[in-house]
Amino acid sequence: MVDVVLSATGLYAPEPTISNEELVTAFNRYVEQFNSQYAEQILNGKKEALHPSSAEFIVKASGIKNRHVIDKEGILNASVMHPLVAERDNEAMSIQCEMAYHATKQALQRAKKTANDIDAIYVACSNVQRAYPAVAIELQHALGCSGYAFDMNVACSSATFGLQTAVAAIQAGQADCVLVVNPEICSAHLNFCDRESHFIFGDACTAMLVEKADNCQSDAAFKIIDCKLQTHFSNNIRNNFGFLNRTAPTTKDADDKLFKQHGRKVFKEVIALDSALVNEQLTELNIQPQQLKRLWLHQANLNMNRLIAERILQREPEQNEWPLILDEYANTSSAGSVIAFHKYHDDFVAGEYGLLNSFGAGYSIGSVVLQKV
């Protein structure tokens, strides 16, 4: 079997940031406008009054404090409440391609590679901005690569599923070096008028270079020991936006065309599914939980991550064993666990194990055991 390594990662985040305080100020202004506009209907019981939020509520519910976004002005405008991004000409680089390009350049530099070394590209993320041509093929063109490229979507687990797909391609002899990029523009599918979820997401892009171990020149490579994937159908996290929406005009702008979730059900069910899968994986590999130096978990929720870490490690974990990036980036869907890895892996020495773990809509779960080379 060909040994495969994760040789380097890259990270790009848009410059604009929004704090909880800024977000809550805009949201509460929207609440005031809504309740004033529909005061009579609310009085007559035909509409429900909206309730204000607070920065303290957001931190307690999620651990999130800030987020990077592609556009700040539209989100904080109580009359808009979503990012405003001008459509680009077809000959210009698309925004997701641009994000992926910057993250890739950083990963290439870290891996001591050039774009000519890349044989395949997977753009793996929760949403792509068009049906075709694939953003991955556009990125391939921008980088000047040969080989093949395609887009894939497994929601919050897109990065780990992309990683497994890259490993399989290399072991099958289809490629020697695969680029997996995760350009997540989550602010565009978020309902900023919903008190329970308007704070969840931010925007970022990660890049991973996956290659044959024999070809690796990186000083910070990790051998990919095992990838374990699982899906389980659930409606508890859903987004019904799609190309058929225009065929049903009466519902094309309904709330379910944005992110929706039943948070408490997701919390309970996903923790159980994810921790069970990881424990099964470790048993199959004959790796003890105490051998894991670090868990790079999907950055969805502080409380959720704490409980998953406890179940995997079978004890109360130290904070440096399950690093959080929620305070700066919020939930960036599939990019979250990769951001955690990108920022917190430099202290590993050869032979030490870590776990890259994702969970989310689908449900989808991806667990990747890594060992420092």
Cis peptide before 83 (omega within 30 of 0): no
Beta-carbon contacts of 92 under 8 Å, excluding residues fewer than 6 positions away, are none
How remote is the C-alpha of 268 from its chain's centroid? 20
For residue 341, what is the DSSP state? H
How far is it, in rounded angstroms, from Cα 95 to Cα 331?
19
How far is it, in rounded angstroms, from Cα 213 to Cα 371?
12
Enter the tokens of residue 159.
């990065």
- Cα–Cα nearest to 127, from 333, 359, 330: 333
**Region for residue 45 given its phi and psi (left: phi exceeds 0; alpha: psi -120 to 50; beta: otherwise):** left
From first CA to last CA, the distance across the chain in angstroms is: 17
DSSP 3-state of 105: helix
How far is it, in rounded angstroms, from Cα 334 to Cα 120?
19
- On whether the CB atoms of residues 112 and 118 are closer than 8 A, the answer is no
For residue 28, what is the DSSP state? H
| 145 flagged as catalytic | no
Cis peptide before 363 (omega within 30 of 0): yes
How far is it, in rounded angstroms, from Cα 120 to Cα 169?
9
Q: Considering the candidates 145, 156, 177, 227, report the single residue annotated as catalytic.
A: 156
Q: Do the strands 148-152 and 120-124 form a parallel or antiparallel pair, or are they unpaired?
A: parallel
How remote is the C-alpha of 96 from its chain's centroid? 14
CA distances from 253 to 72, 123, 210, 235 (A): 22, 27, 40, 19
Q: Do the strands 260-261 and 148-152 form a parallel or antiparallel pair, or are they unpaired?
A: unpaired
Enter the tokens of residue 308.
């998953």
DSSP 3-state of 101: helix
Residues with a known catalytic role: 156
